[in-house]
Structure formats: structure tokens, C-alpha cells
């Protein structure tokens, strides 16, 4: 564990602020390494913000000390990645760059004296600099997590951020207890489905999920929710009141913000907890403090990446716990892996247009 803390300390000494923890670490160097890929690697490259990605052949990335080389099999597409290539994200990498921060694959090379990993290990990784949409990446071992070989590689790329966030939000922030009633907004998204999966199938709670279509409602119910609210034709507050016989929910988890956040707050039971996870709707809400007073309720936030610096033991536990549940067959991420590297632009449009259910993956191998 001291080695893990040492790696986190090294990150803190870099020039990157904590909010960039889940963004971007691996630099695709112009220096080649000698092994089977002497002719370079294929990658999706952003050469101009707001323009389509281009599929190009790049020199292989060089491997530094304490890094491992990974043959990338699946890369996740996240909303932050979409904003980044559009030039709308708060951090703008130097052009050109290879987008993507979350991926899975197999280790093909380790540094001399490496003891924690070996060639052939199945791993998932979170990078601090764009790198995922390439056939290879060299990353620091502190950002890599082993995947049991009985667990599909797709699960690794589809679960780190979403299930790590969900586990911490439920276990740590909300202090979830068996039998509680839990409301999840945007329940068909990657984090939303992870919340439903864990709350229903690990923590034994009654889950209500909010969705925007009947197709998404079906998936959320299959994942373990007891009820769904279709916010396109139903009022969240009224429906939750009906489903809970006027009591309200013990825990609400919101990743949308705006009016949905207020609906979640008004749907809480006495002494309920609202956990804010993100603002996908684009509006950061203002908390009406009088509601906190009247219901003796609370609002808490969860930023998963921050735990890598402030509490690295718990950060690692959030990943280890969910991977263990997956190995045991108790939970499983929902994803689509219909896109290949050549279709990277279609994958990004698919997510940007909110057509996805669960995580969108791009298959590279």
C-alpha cells in the first residue's frame, strides 16, 4: 500500500490540479520501441477541435520507467471526451492528440524488475492524458488495475469510472442500508445503471429509476429497479410520492442537475440524503436551504477522482470491490461495443446525441 501512496504523491507533485485526475496521462511519443509492431500503430487523432477524428498510423509510444505497455482492446467513450474534441472542455490538450481516458486490454511489455504485473495480464486503466483510442498505450502502473481473466475485457473498460463512482456514492457518501428506497436520475446512463445495479443487487434496496424512453425503462427494470419514471410524460415528484405512499425516498442520486436536481430534493423523505454526481443537463442548481431545514435532509457531493489523492485506499477499494462483484457474477455493466476504431466518429456522435444505454465502447483488437 505504501507503493500506491507513493505513486499518488508523485501525481500530486506534478503540475496537474486534482480535477484532471481522470483526464489524460499517457503521451504518444514520437519515439519508437522495438517489438512486433515495428510499422507503428493505428489511432484516432484529433487534429482540429470541432472537426472529425482522423484514423492515422503513429509511431509506437515509448515506455518509461515504472510504466507498462498495453495492447488496447476496448476504449470507453465518455462525455468529457466528446467535449474535449469539440473544444468545449475546460482542459484543452495540445493538438494533435489521441482522445480517450478509460480503456482495457492485455499487457504486452513490463519494465525491468516489475513485480506487480506481467505480460499477458488482463487490465483496465485510467489515464491522465489522452491515449485510449490507439492500438497501444504505455501508462504508469499506478493507473492500472488487474481484471480477473474470467471477467470480459469489455467489463474493465465499461466499469472503472461508472462503477467506482457508484460504489463510493452509495457506500461512502450516502451510507446506504439494506431495504432503503433509492431514486436514480438518468438511470439508463453508464453511472445511472451502475447505481441501479449496485443498489439493487449488492445493497438490497428498492430502486426507482428515471428515464427518457420506454426502451431505456426496460433496461433499467432488467438491471434490478422496482419502478421507473418516464420524465417525458410523468412528473418525477408526483410519481415518487405515489410509489412511496407519500413518504419519499431515503436516498436520491442525481447526475443531471437543473430542475431534475430540485425534483430529487423535493422527493426526499425526512432525513433523506441527496447525492449530486454531475450536471449532464448543463445547469448547476442552487440549493433551496429552506427545504433542507423543513425535511432535516442533506445534500452531499461525490467526486470519485478526488479520492485518488485524498483517500487512495478507498479509491482503490471502489474498483477492487466492483471487479470482485463482477467476478462473482453479482453485477455486470451494460455497454455497446458495436463500434470499431474506424467508426470512432460515429461512436462519439452516438453518445453526444444521447442514443446510448450504458457505456459506449470502441473495439480496437
Between these two residues, 365 and 41, which has the higher pLDDT value?
41
What whole-number percentage of the chain has pLDDT above 70?
89
The architecture (CATH level 2) of 2-159+313-363 comes to: Alpha-Beta Complex (3.90)
State the average pLDDT over residues 284-291: 92
> For the domain 177-302, what is the CATH code?
3.40.50.720
**Model confidence pLDDT, tens digit, residues 193-244:** 999 999 999 999 999 999 999 999 999 999 999 999 999 999 999 999 999 9
Mean pLDDT is lowest, of 49-58, 223-232, 276-285, 286-295, for 276-285
Same CATH topology for 2-159+313-363 and 177-302?
Answer: no
Report how far residue 260's alpha carbon sits from residue 283's, in angstroms, rounded to the nearest whole number: 10
**Model confidence pLDDT, tens digit, residues 131-184:** 999 999 999 888 899 999 899 999 999 999 999 999 999 999 999 999 999 999
- Per-position b or e across 253-283, b if 16+ CB within 10 A of its CB: bbbbbeebbbbbbbbbbeebbbbbbbbbbee
Report how far residue 83's alpha carbon sits from residue 102's, in angstroms, rounded to the nearest whole number: 15
Structure confidence at residue 29 as a pLDDT band (50, 70, 90): very low
Q: What is the dihedral of CA 344, 214, 205, 312, to 10 degrees?
A: 20
Mean pLDDT is lowest, of 123-127, 271-275, 282-286, 342-346, for 282-286
What is the pLDDT of the chain when averaged over all its residues?
87
How distant, in Å, are the alpha carbons of 91, 129, 312 from that of 16?
10, 10, 17
In a 3-state reduction of DSSP, which class is residue 350?
helix
Q: How many helices (H) and strands (E) are present in the chain, helices listed first?
A: 11, 17
Q: Where do the structural domains in the chain lie, given as residue ranges?
A: 2-159+313-363, 177-302
Report how far residue 365's alpha carbon sits from residue 280's, in angstroms, rounded to the nearest whole number: 31
Handedness of CA 227, 231, 233, 234 (dihedral sign): positive
In which element (H, E) is residue 118 found? none
For the entire predicted model, the pTM comes to 0.83
What contacts 179, CB < 8 A, 6 or more positions away?
204, 205, 206
Structure confidence at residue 15 as a pLDDT band (50, 70, 90): very low
pLDDT on residue 37: 54
pLDDT on residue 352: 85
Amino acid at each position: 500500500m505504501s507503493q500506491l501512496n507513493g505513486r499518488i504523491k508523485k501525481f500530486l507533485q506534478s503540475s496537474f490540479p486534482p480535477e484532471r485526475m481522470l483526464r489524460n496521462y499517457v503521451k504518444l511519443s514520437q519515439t519508437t520501441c522495438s517489438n512486433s509492431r515495428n510499422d507503428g500503430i493505428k489511432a484516432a487523432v484529433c487534429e482540429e477541435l470541432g472537426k472529425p477524428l482522423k484514423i492515422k498510423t503513429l509511431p509506437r509510444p515509448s515506455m518509461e520507467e515504472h510504466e507498462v505497455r498495453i495492447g488496447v482492446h476496448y476504449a470507453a467513450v465518455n462525455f468529457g471526451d466528446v467535449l474535449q474534441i469539440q473544444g468545449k472542455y475546460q482542459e484543452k490538450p495540445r493538438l494533435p492528440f489521441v482522445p480517450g481516458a478509460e480503456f482495457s486490454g492485455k499487457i504486452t511489455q513490463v519494465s525491468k524488475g516489475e513485480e506487480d504485473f506481467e505480460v499477458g495480464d488482463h487490465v483496465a486503466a485510467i489515464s491522465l492524458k489522452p491515449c485510449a483510442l490507439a492500438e497501444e498505450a504505455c501508462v504508469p502502473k499506478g493507473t492500472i488495475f488487474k481484471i480477473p481473466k474470467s471477467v470480459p475485457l469489455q467489463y474493465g473498460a465499461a466499469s472503472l469510472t461508472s462503477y467506482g463512482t457508484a460504489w463510493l456514492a452509495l457506500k461512502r457518501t450516502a451510507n446506504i442500508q439494506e431495504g432503503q428506497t433509492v431514486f436514480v436520475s438518468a438511470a439508463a446512463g453508464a453511472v445511472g445503471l451502475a447505481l441501479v445495479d449496485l443498489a439493487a443487487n449488492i445493497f438490497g434496496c428498492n430502486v426507482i429509476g428515471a428515464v427518457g424512453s420506454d426502451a431505456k425503462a426496460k433496461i433499467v427494470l432488467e438491471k434490478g429497479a422496482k419502478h421507473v419514471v418516464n420524465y417525458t410524460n410523468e412528473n418525477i415528484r408526483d410519481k415518487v410520492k405515489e410509489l412511496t405512499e407519500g413518504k419519499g425516498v431515503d436516498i436520491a442520486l442525481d447526475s443531471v442537475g437543473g430542475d431534475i436536481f430540485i425534483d430529487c430534493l423535493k422527493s426526499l423523505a425526512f432525513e433523506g440524503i441527496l447525492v449530486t454526481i454531475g450536471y449532464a443537463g448543463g445547469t448547476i442548481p442552487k440549493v433551496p436551504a429552506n427545504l433542507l431545514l423543513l425535511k432535516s435532509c442533506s445534500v452531499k457531493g461525490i467526486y470519485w477522482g478526488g479520492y485518488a489523492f485524498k483517500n487512495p485506499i478507498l479509491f482503490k477499494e471502489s474498483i477492487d470491490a466492483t471487479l470482485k462483484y463482477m467476478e462473482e457474477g453479482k453485477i455486470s455493466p451494460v455497454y455497446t461495443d458495436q463500434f470499431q476504431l474506424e467508426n470512432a466518429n460515429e461512436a462519439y456522435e452516438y453518445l453526444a446525441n444521447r442514443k446510448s444505454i450504458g457505456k459506449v465502447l470502441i473495439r480496437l483488437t
